[in-house]
Amino acid sequence: MTVDWRIESFDTLESTQELVKQRAVDGEAEGLVAQALEQSGGKGRHGREWVSPKGNLYLSILLGPECSASEAAQLSFAAALAVSQTIDEYITDKSMKVLKWPNDVFLDGKKCAGILLETELNESGDVEWLVLGVGINIVSAPDIGVAVQDYTEQEINLEEFRDHFLAHLSSYKEKEFSEVRGLWLKHAHKPGTKLQIKLGNREEAGYFHDIDEAGNLLLRGEDDEIHTISAGDVYFA
């Protein structure tokens, strides 16, 4: 069943993520999408800041609770694919775009979009609510990133881009994870790509092998063993 999105737009917010999480706590139903034209305190993964000037896309989306924690994590791959397909509709050279585990989108070797998945679990460990935060650099990016507009001749209209993304998200979220996984792999770094993983103080290097049926990263270590990574910061080494 596709979701009927209810879009609420704001000029400025501290963070769309905080707004939608509060609305989820207050009992809001699935389908709320908060968009801010700029954020004063945008949040990235691992407690980092997401610099959010005007011109880029900042969305937080409240999705349905009927799923386990692992199914929720799989949704972030569906979201990455929805971002990827939307970007493909604009950029001239699609070979420049690569998905990086777990849900980053890279253009020309630099990050252009990030996804933040936050959930609240109930006592049985099932998801009470799930908020998907999506930040896409449309016209500007920090030094370590790039903006989609620099890779297309078309002038990107933010609302049109958002609506394409939401339509793609509706359809990817209905797909079985086996299909999402296959599509994600098609657009991701190729097996053998050297990756560096940071988790707290621990660092691990290896070569991309695959993702498993739960979405975990399978990394071939220098020892030729396959290591399963469920969380961490991944860099191209």
The footprint of ligand BTN on residues 48-67 (CB under 6 A) is: 48, 50, 58-60
Residue of the chain from 5, 23, 33, 39 that contacts ligand BTN (CB under 6 A): 39
d(CA 14, CA 40) in angstroms, rounded, equals 5
Residues 6+ apart with CB under 8 A from 54: 37, 38
CA distance readout (Å), 18 to 9, 41, 85, 110, 127: 14, 10, 27, 27, 18
At residue 46, the 3 state secondary structure works out as: helix
| Smallest separation, CB 133 to ligand BTN (Å) | 3
| Alpha carbon distances (Å) from 30 to 114, 128, 130, 132, 171 | 21, 11, 9, 11, 15
Provide the 8-state DSSP code for 55.
T
Binders in 93-152 for ligand BTN, by CB under 6 A: 104, 114-116, 133-135
Q: How far is the CB of 5 from ligand BTN (least distance, A)?
A: 15
Cβ 235 to ligand BTN, closest distance in Å?
A: 13
Tell me: does residue 84 bind ligand BTN (CB under 6 A). no
Question: Tokens 């297309």 appear where?
Answer: 152
CB closer to ligand BTN out of 74 and 76 = 76
Q: Which residue is nearest to ligand BTN (CB)?
A: 114
Q: How many residues bind ligand BTN (CB under 6 A)?
A: 20
Binding site for ligand BTN (CB under 6 A): 15-17, 39, 42-45, 48, 50, 58-60, 104, 114-116, 133-135
